Amino acid sequence: MMKFEFKPIGFIRTQSREISGTPIQPSYAKEYTGKVEILLEYIPGLKDLDGFSHIILIYVFDRHRRGDYKLHVKPYMDDEIRGVFATRAPKRPNNIGLSIVKVDQIKNNMIFFSGADMLDNTPVLDIKPYVPEFDEGEKFRIGWLEGKIKLGEERKADERF
């Protein structure tokens, strides 16, 4: 079996210290702000990022033990058991998280953003600019989530996460 090693390029700072009560998904966390503190050796990689309104943060769910996942889960927007790959549940075979957040400001080695749905001190593996034209264009289907998404509601993590 192949094995991969990653090291963080920085750490996410937010007001969320516990899994329970942390906002679920950036669209439910618009009022929650955070910052990515980039490690000094990676600062040159931030060049030109300030021209983008949104970025994709790829990070590690480091509070979950490796192997602490189930292939069938009960997602927060449903009462049915679903396959983990048909959900955005954080307990996954590889503990990788992804969030598209709004960039508020970039200053030195800090990226200030809104939509913070992650815990304080979360390790960041990579940052990519969000480009709607690359990711949108076709009519998307959203499977079992059809009709369940209500963006005006507050959604936070509970004991399932």
Q: 106-130: per-residue pLDDT in tens? A: 999 999 999 888 889 999 999 999 9
pLDDT for residue 78 is more than 70? yes
Cα–Cα dist 97/122, whole Å: 10
Copy the structure tokens of residue 154.
């507050």
Please state whether the predicted TM-score (pTM) of the whole model is above 0.85: no
In this structure, of 10-14, 65-69, 117-121, the range with the lowest mean pLDDT score is 65-69
Per-residue three-class SS string for 12-39: EEECCCCCCCCECCHHHCCCCEEEEEEC
pLDDT for residue 149 is more than 80? no
Cβ-contact 91, 70 below 8 angstroms: yes
Q: What is the CATH number of domain 10-63+93-132?
A: 2.40.30.70
Listed by start position, the domains of the chain span 10-63+93-132
pLDDT at position 138:
67
